[in-house]
Amino acid sequence: MAKANAKELKVTLVKSAFGRAPGHAECVRGLGLRRMHHTVTVKDTPENRGMINKVSYLLKVEEA
């Protein structure tokens, strides 16, 4: 069972992933972002942090 106070991050795609490196586009999709200005809430895990760091120039990240 997950912790009740698990940290979460609100991630918004603010620049298009179109035409970017294939690995960067895959990270955007892996985070669950589908289109511009789409916002998702993801758990604050090392895996998600790695994807966010890789494509940070495309995203806006906030604490949820």
Q: What is the pLDDT of residues 22-45, one digit of tens each?
A: 999 999 999 999 999 999 999 999
| Mean pLDDT (whole number) for 38-62 | 97
Do 39 and 10 form a contact (C-beta atoms < 8 A)? Answer: yes
* Domain presence at residue 3: no
Across the range 47-64, mean pLDDT stands at 96
Q: Does 2 reside within a domain?
A: no
pLDDT at 20: 96
Helix (H, G, I), strand (E, B) or coil at 8: strand
Q: Is the pLDDT of residue 8 over 90?
A: yes
For residue 1, pLDDT over 70 is answered with no
Q: What is the CATH number of the domain that holds 45?
A: 3.30.1390.20
Domain that holds residue 30: 8-63
**To the nearest whole percent, how much of the chain has pLDDT over 90?**
89
Q: Cβ atoms within 10 A of the Cβ of 13, count?
A: 21
